Structure 1
Amino acid sequence: MAVETMGKRSRKRGDAPRSSSKAGSTRAERDEARRMRASQTAQADPASSPVPGSRSAARRRGERPPPPWGSFPLTELTVFIALVLGVIGLLFSSGDRQRTLIVGAMVLGSLGGLEISIRDHFAGFRSHTTLLAGAATMGTVLVIFVAVDKIPAYVPLAVGGLVFAGSFFALREVFKRRSGGLGFR
């Protein structure tokens, strides 16, 4: 009676010689061969390869889209000022001034993060649909509370829900167009 041994079988590619193959046998050799093929393809058809400074080349490298104001660190300064205001508000103030400093710090910090989210989303780099829809909802509800004196609580909630749903759908479609059809990244 023969005993059958069962185990994992390795997947081998037929009779292709491993060490003398054109692709190489180690991962580094295969990567190098892949780079060589890509450069040969780019040299043969330069119109199909991305321009080094183009948006598609930057996205493929995994870099964030550049800010519209160039290399000036506006977002970083905004977040830094928010941190300074928060520390001053927590440690060195009291009463109304403390509340004002802390709220100002929260607003500036949120604006710094929101700016990066907007830039990433509309460039098709990374989807921030829920965050941006939530920001639109919070802005709408805040305007309703400030503009209308006496209003039932369900009205801002209902309007906020409609704004969230509408902006979520619209922002999702914008990201799909900008990212080449992907719903998230």
Structure 2
Amino acid sequence: MKNSTLHTFALCALLATGPLAIAGEGHGDHDHATSTIGIAGDAAKATRTVNIDMNDTMRFTPANVQASQGETIRFVVKNSGKVKHELVLGTKAALKEHYEMMMKFPEMEHASPNMITLAPGQSGEVVWQFTRSGQVDFACLQPGHYDAGMKGAVKVMVKKMPVHESKKMDEATHH
């Protein structure tokens, strides 16, 4: 196989599995992969909107966001820079792996509910439900941007059970 044919084949294989690889760790198990960072959210169920600006200083503003486990957030993302930027939600490992692929194939086009790519001056949104506590990272994976520090994180806090539910569980376990 010629080298260019091999690269085209590899790129097609990546694009066929790309959203799962980014949404999770690329294990192939859709439920496990998406549960690593959450699931695509329903805009009608978004509990709040977080505005995020991307600019040519290679920063997100804000770069740190807090969420509650189970919360659905509408991220309204604006590219106020003069070059293309993107916001991709994922684990650090998945983002780094995808970034390395973007360095090899900088014109690669992709779309998934956990990401948005915007030309200069454009705005768009990502609606995401954070199903597990912990940290969900985000980054711009355009060549050079990740290395320049264009990264951020969503800290997902454990959902606290209402007091009356907690009492019911205590009573059930003591009888």
| More helix as a share of residues | 1
Relative to its length, the structure with more strand (as a share) is 2
TM-score (norm 1): 0.24
- TM-score normalised according to structure 2 size: 0.25
Larger Rg: 1 or 2? 1
